[in-house]
Structure 1
């Protein structure tokens, strides 16, 4: 007995959308870090080096420096990255700041 229509999923159901979101060369997520965190009072969304904070429906935007981009996953999103993963973000953080992405 099937309990849900989601039981009949195939790998292609995930791989094709994932390709266009993450792996396609023109995907905005392929060339710059992007995270989101929603809490009761604030929603944080950094894309590249711009941190957007939404509080009570009002958005504010702040440009992050390279070191802030590298520390944001842990400080803002409570995501601990390995040191080599953090360093792999450095060229992208610098490129975004220089306007190359």
Structure 2
């Protein structure tokens, strides 16, 4: 069964964040590496943005999706900031 857009918006961030959190925890445990709660949190928090990232890309083709994202402004702002960083790094490297 394919999830609906509303289900992806509601549950996607939680599922992606928890999967990344526990995957890193298990990987560190298997390798006998120190487990940092900060690293686990950062990886989980960043992974939780994956569904929204996908929906923002999809939103370029279907604008109605953007209206359904309650926190779209935050992600659009981060995307804009990322473009500034990409520009800066490109100019710095090529200059």
TM (normalized to structure 1)?
0.26
Which structure shows the higher strand fraction? 1
Which structure shows the higher helix fraction? 2
Relative contact order, CA 8 A, sep 6+: which one is greater? 2
